[in-house]
Amino acid sequence: EDQVTQSPEALRLQEGESSSLNCSYTVSGLRGLFWYRQDPGKGPEFLFTLYSAGEEKEKERLKATLTKKESFLHITAPKPEDSATYLCAVQDSWGSGYALNFGKGTSLLVTP
Amino acid sequence: DSGVTQTPKHLITATGQRVTLRCSPRSGDLSVYWYQQSLDQGLQFLIQYYNGEERAKGNILERFSAQQFPDLHSELNLSSLELGDSALYFCASSVSSGGQETQYFGPGTRLLVL
């Protein structure tokens, strides 16, 4: 059975203090690994998809990387507007269609 | 704005009742997924439709059902509601190309069962 574990559960950073969020996964075969951002009471907002180990993608202050067992979301010089819950999800190539299996998320708070 | 719309935004009802949640996918997207998000379980896949046909099922209760209509909008029907059904319900739509696919989520429907 697919498993997605995110750590830490919560993270508090000072503005400008860089850090990384971790997503460990177990799947029969990885079709894709996804990162989403979710603000309170809103729907998840797509950030990145990674398909193979060694792949990296960047968007503004965010950079996502992928290995065979985990993915990292690096946040460089974060700003208060980066505060949100970051969700990691996997698509299993042997699973139900293209359904996403989500981790429980990392709640990030960036203070001025 | 993802382009996926969901109605209603909020729904308050009583135990034992039945409700219908509606989702309109992004223009051109053939797939619709339904997810449930509760505080303790996180985001859980319920069911997927592709161009009107059921494609995959996840942890969907027998009291819940869904369908996708010819205009591609989808409805999730929840019946015999229980307190534990209180949650955020999201739909997502997607289009596949070359085995790659991205799901875009709607704003959700917050269901409160009293």
- Give per-residue burial for A43-78: e unless 16+ CB within 10 Å, then b: bbbbbbbbeeeeeeeeeeebbbbbeeebbbbebeeb
Tell me whether B58 touches chain A (CB under 8 Å). yes
Smallest Cβ–Cβ distance between A98 and the set B57, B94, B105 belongs to B94
- What value does the CA radius of gyration of chain B take, rounded to a whole number of Å? 13
Give per-residue pLDDT as tens, B11-50: 999 999 999 999 999 999 999 999 999 988 889 999 999 9
- Hey, how many other C-beta atoms are within 10 angstroms of the C-beta on B19? 18
Give per-residue pLDDT as tens, B52-97: 999 999 989 999 999 999 999 999 999 999 999 999 999 999 977 7
Tell me whether B57 touches chain A (CB under 8 Å). yes
